[in-house]
Structure 1
Amino acid sequence: MSRPGRDDDPDRLYTLTGGRSRAETDAFDLVTLVVSECEPATGMQSEHVRILRLCERPTAVVEVAAHLNLPVSIVKILLSDLLALGRITARHPRTTAGAAQLPDTDLLEQVLVGLRNL
Structure 2
Amino acid sequence: MSPRLEDENPDRLYMVTGGRSDATDDGLDLVTLIVSECDPTPGMQSEHARILRLCVSPMAVVEVAAELRLPVGVARILLRDLLDMGRITARNPRPVPAAARLPEPEMLKQVLVGLQKL
- Structure 1 residues without counterparts, runs of 5 or longer: 96-100, 105-118
1:28 maps to which residue?
A: 28
How high is the TM-score relative to the length of structure 2?
0.74
In the comparison of the two structures, how many residue pairs are matched?
A: 96
* Equivalent residues of 1:25, 1:80 under 8 A apart: no
Q: Which residue of 2 aligns with 1:52?
A: 52
Q: Is the 8 A contact 1:34 1:89 kept in 2?
A: yes
Instruction: Give percent identity, aligned residues only.
Output: 65
Residue 9 of structure 1: CA displacement? Answer: 1.2
SS at match of 2:23: coil
> What TM-score do the two structures reach when normalised by structure 1?
0.74
Q: Which has the larger radius of gyration?
A: 2
8 Å Cα contact 1:32-1:92 kept in structure 2 = yes
2:110 aligns with none
Structure 2 residues without counterparts, runs of 5 or longer? 100-118
Amino acid at match of 1:102: P
What is the DSSP-based 3-state SS (H/G/I as helix, E as strand, rest coil) of the residue aligned with 2:83?
helix
Is 2:68 the counterpart of 1:68? yes
Whether 1:102 and 2:97 are equivalent positions in the alignment is: yes
Runs of 4+ with deviation above 3 angstroms = none
